[in-house]
């Protein structure tokens, strides 16, 4: 059941009233009051996405909207140290890899570790921002106060609990992987966090954003990425939230000339998961590769929306997402490529493949191409199917049990992304 327009507007009004009364409003420094207030005004103007909105028509936000005001009124309790520690320990890391831990929306210095990172990577946390970083944080939040601000990004900026800015030095070659771990326990009514990654000229680095949780919570996170000229960044987002959690995330990526961005998204958990990834190729020679794997079983709902804007000529992009749905799981994939006027020499490829393992599983897929110039090479496609009966028979004929044979074929389907 979807909420009526009146009910959705009532939720927005309740959120506006909650903004001035939540105890967390005093937890952040006063210099953020202006940007946060402007972001709230932008959210109130936009409201929650309408049920008829094309970008949201396959994802029912009724439960998220209906409980949003009540969740935002509650400041997350102090993190359960033992549980958070257990969740963080599940994240695979190499010894010596720098790690930033955000527990229940707040930076946790005890669980974080930045050995040697300060030499070529500078990490700034909003709750401990220096005087010189304050203007940068304020300007960053103000970006989500414009007329066309995305509703959840504006809501995130208004109720932000903590944020992380990562600056990678120019010419730096970072061998270690930087881990950003977001952990929520059952007392986290909501978490509103932000990440900004800036890769310096000719730098090279890998960042993993890992979300883990336990219990009922609402995660709303925003990540902005800037790849300056000739930089190379690998970005992995792994969402493994509790099956009682709602996870809404957005990433905005800007690529300068000759920069390279490789991304991999994995959705393994959450009751409802929505991920919006937008990549803008703004300089000639920019290159983007995007891979994704999403799993939806039980009654889980996973929605991936991607958009690639080719704004400069001689840029390339390659995108490949795969979905696996079982039981009553519902998957959504919408991939859009826009080749703007003047972006001659563009080479863009988009592919989505989906596997349905039950009669009640569902997938809605929509690859799109919009081309406003000549001299381009673009292709897109999508397929949806079941396990190959001939392949199953081949494995069964060699003594492999049916359940194991199906498992082998599913793993083989996923392995091309992994």
3-state secondary structure of 164: strand
At residue 77, does pLDDT exceed 80?
Answer: no
pLDDT tens, 277-303? 999 999 999 999 999 999 999 999 999
With bands split at pLDDT 50, 70 and 90, how would you rate the model's confidence at 25? very low
State pTM to two decimals: 0.94
Instruction: Characterise 235 by phi-psi region: left (phi > 0), alpha (psi -120 to 50), beta (else).
Output: beta
**Stronger pLDDT, 85 or 232, i.e. the higher one:** 232
Instruction: Characterize 75-89 residue by residue with b for buried, 16 or more Cβ atoms within 10 angstroms of its Cβ, and e for exposed.
Output: bbeebbeebbbebbe
CA dihedral 264, 403, 272, 243 (to 10 degrees): -100
Residue with tokens 């991607």: 306
Once rounded to an integer, what is the mean pLDDT over residues 16-35?
A: 70
Tally the residues of the chain. Answer: 418
pLDDT of residue 411: 95
Tens-place pLDDT, residues 58-69: 999 999 999 998
Digit-coded pLDDT (tens) for 310-329: 999 999 999 999 999 999 99
pLDDT at 407 over 70: yes
Mean pLDDT, residues 140-160: 88
- Residue 23: the pLDDT is 42
Q: Which residue has the tokens 């709303």?
A: 220
Beta strands in 228-310 (DSSP E): 232-240, 246-255, 260-267, 272-281, 287-296, 301-310
Residue 127, pLDDT score:
81
The model's pLDDT over 202-258, given as tens digits with 9 standing for 90+, comes to: 999 999 999 999 888 899 999 999 999 999 999 999 999 999 999 999 999 999 999
Query: In the sheet where 377-385 sits, what is the strand order?
Result: 106-107, 99-103, 173-184, 204-213, 232-240, 260-267, 287-296, 316-325, 347-356, 377-385
Q: What angle do CA 351, 289, 294 make, to 5 degrees?
A: 55
Average pLDDT over residues 408-418: 93
Residue 82: which of 226, 203, 202, 214 has the closest Cα?
214
| Predicted local confidence at residue 141, as pLDDT | 85
For the ranges 20-24, 103-107, 318-322, the maximum mean pLDDT occurs at: 318-322
pLDDT given for residue 382 in this prediction:
95
- The confidence score (pLDDT) of residue 366 equals 95
pLDDT at 311: 98
Q: Which residue has the higher pLDDT, 144 or 239?
A: 239
pLDDT of residue 134: 83
């Amino acid at each position: 059941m979807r909420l009526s327009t009146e009910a959705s507007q009532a939720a927005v009004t309740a959120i506006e009233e909650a903004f001035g009364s939540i105890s967390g409003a005093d937890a952040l420094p006063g210099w953020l009051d202006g940007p946060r207030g402007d972001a709230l005004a932008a959210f109130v103007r936009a409201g929650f996405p309408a049920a008829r909105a094309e970008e949201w028509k396959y994802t029912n936000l009724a439960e998220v909207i209906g409980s949003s005001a009540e969740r935002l009124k509650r400041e997350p309790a102090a993190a359960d140290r033992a549980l958070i520690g257990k969740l963080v320990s599940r994240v695979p890391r190499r010894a010596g890899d720098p790690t930033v831990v955000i527990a229940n929306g707040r930076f946790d210095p005890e669980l974080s570790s930045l050995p040697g990172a300060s030499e070529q990577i500078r990490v700034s946390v909003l709750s401990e921002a220096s005087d010189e970083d304050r203007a940068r944080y304020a300007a960053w939040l103000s970006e989500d106060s414009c007329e066309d601000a995305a509703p959840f990004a504006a809501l995130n900026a208004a109720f932000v609990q903590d944020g992380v800015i990562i600056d990678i030095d120019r010419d730096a070659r970072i061998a270690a992987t930087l881990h950003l771990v977001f952990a929520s326990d059952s007392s986290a009514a909501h978490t509103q966090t932000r990440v900004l990654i800036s890769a310096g000229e000719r730098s090279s680095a890998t960042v993993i954003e890992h979300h883990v949780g336990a219990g009922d919570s609402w995660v709303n996170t925003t990540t902005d990425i800037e790849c300056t000229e000739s930089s190379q960044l690998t970005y992995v987002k792994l969402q493994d939230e509790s099956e009682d959690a709602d996870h809404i995330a957005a990433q905005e990526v800007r690529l300068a000339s000759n920069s390279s961005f490789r991304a991999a998204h994995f959705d393994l958990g959450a009751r409802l998961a929505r991920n919006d990834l937008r990549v803008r190729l703004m300089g000639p020679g920019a290159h983007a590769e995007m891979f994704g794997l999403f799993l939806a079983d039980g009654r889980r709902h996973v929605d991936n929306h991607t958009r690639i804007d080719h704004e400069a000529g001689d840029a390339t992009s390659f995108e490949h997402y795969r979905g696996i749905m079982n039981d009553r799981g519902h998957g959504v994939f919408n991939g859009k490529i826009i080749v703007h006027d003047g972006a001659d020499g563009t080479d863009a490829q988009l592919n989505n493949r989906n596997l349905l393992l039950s009669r009640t599983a569902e997938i809605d897929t929509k690859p799109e191409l919009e081309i406003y110039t000549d001299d381009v090479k673009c292709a897109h496609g999508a397929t949806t199917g079941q396990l190959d009966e001939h392949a199953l028979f081949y494995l069964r004929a060699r003594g492999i049990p049916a359940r194991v044979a199906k498992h082998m074929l599913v793993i083989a389907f996923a392995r091309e992304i992994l």
